[in-house]
Structure 1
Amino acid sequence: MRPADLAGVDVLILDRPPGGIAAFDLLETARAGGARLLCDVSDRDHDFEARIAALGLEAARDQANALHLAAVERRAVLALADAILLADPAPDAVLRALGKPLLPVTTPADLKAVLQGGERI
């Protein structure tokens, strides 16, 4: 995707938000064009400690630097979002600390309500 692809976008929903400079450029372009940014969180990639625990000690030791960088980048993208969409209605402390609206979206009707402005973003 290129920044020009985002011209006229009202809402950009990111599933597993990417990190890196290219992603930040795209998000800033979308935001400058007036788009609302919604990030869907259905995993724990933003939470380094949870990922390490889930992988187990040996696997985590080999992947620790990459997992830490990925978590930092994911949280930076989440910090740009107007709201965070949750598959799990019980957000973890890392997400709550971002201070963003946390919207449970577990059905198509939930997503429709968010997109139609039924939830304040």
Structure 2
Amino acid sequence: MTTKKPVVVELYDEIVFPDPSEAFLSRVQGHPAVNLPRLPAGVTLPPPIPVEDASKRRKGDTKDHSLTQWFTNFSEADELLQLAAARQRVQAHIAKLRRQISLIDGQQQQFKSTPEQ
């Protein structure tokens, strides 16, 4: 194994309590380990998406998510297309470089095979 490549590990856990009791909610929000971000005055979040609607969405597609205003736009599908296009450009560049190398090698072979006068 090499130490030249970085190792990236991402982990996301989520526990959803659809209808917590008031007592439970106040205990969770009052816990010292909970850091709840405060939204600016007058800003409200849209209501959560019903579970059945979320399951109908294409996996990995975040374009139509109700919270996109708070996050950068990202779509796994778009990312895969960009990676495929980049890979094609790199492969074309590698093929071009190989052709140039073979031309140079051919010229060197000609130069070596030419008898000196």
TM-score, normalised via structure 1 length: 0.28
Q: Could you say which structure has the higher strand fraction?
A: 1
Q: Which has the larger radius of gyration?
A: 2
